[in-house]
Amino acid sequence: MTSILVTGGTGTLGRPTVAGLRAAGHQVGVLSRKPGPDRVVADLTSGAGLDAAVEGSDVVVHLATSQGRRDVQQTRNLLEAAAGVQHLILMSIVGIDRIPLAYYRYKLETERLVAESGVPYTILRATQFHNLVDQIFAVQRFLPAVFAPAVTLQPIAVEDIAVRLVELVDGPPVMGRAPDIGGPELHPVPDLARAWKQARSTRRPVLPLRLPGGTFRAYADGAATVDGPEYGRITFAEYLR
């Protein structure tokens, strides 16, 4: 049995990951600022309590994420506390080195910190979550149409990512990036919007968008999709159901 600390363990990806690790027989603590069952109280941003939280853990699975420099600072604080762990797994995003978004730039910096830390590590990049695509359409509920960028995505279910994370916990550190993973299907975002529209019973039209700039061009060039065989099994249509 391996002792594992999961950051972001109460989040969208964290919940199925924690469940999968426990089902595999591991002892799992969930890092949180708030006390609760099976939680380890510490603050990633300030670093308060992190040394004690990490002590005794064989593996740290870093799923917590924040905006901008806070994300970088949290990772730096965690690495300082995790200097003695056997394996640190960092969750990241496909295409962050090709898509010029500020959030991705900071996420790339967290990868660099992990790689240079001296802690045995594995970095796993995945494509956009199904629920993120769902949210992008849902926040437009007061608009007269569902606007959908005319690019192709390969969304993946968090349950599929959790399976892969459990596999990585059970293996040795890669000392680099594990193969990127994506969902089982590639779809133009307008097609995803039409499937979402039908599932959510809205009559608003879907309007494809083409936008200027390097970010849209990178997505249009496939920077957010995975080369090679897909990993995930749950399709976006199955997620919607």
Integer Cα distance of 10 and 68 in angstroms? 21
203-229: pLDDT as tens digits:
999 999 999 999 999 999 999 999 877
Integer Cα distance of 166 and 9 in angstroms? 13
Integer Cα distance of 12 and 240 in angstroms? 16
Residue range of the domain that includes 21: 3-240
Over pLDDT 90: what percentage of the chain? 95
Query: Kind of pairing, strands 3-7 and 27-32?
Result: parallel
168-194: pLDDT as tens digits:
999 999 999 999 999 999 999 999 999
- CATH number where 148 lies: 3.40.50.720
What's the number of domains the chain is made of?
Answer: 1
Task: Return the number of other C-beta atoms located less than 10 Å from residue 192's C-beta.
Answer: 24
Cα angle: 85, vertex 168, 225; to 5 degrees:
125
pLDDT at 16 over 90: yes
53-104: pLDDT as tens digits:
999 999 999 999 998 899 999 999 999 999 999 999 999 999 999 999 999 9
Integer Cα distance of 92 and 90 in angstroms? 6
Report CA-CA distances (Å) from 165 to 59, 62, 160: 12, 11, 9
Indicate the pLDDT class of residue 38, thresholds 50, 70 and 90: confident
- Amino acid in position 209: L
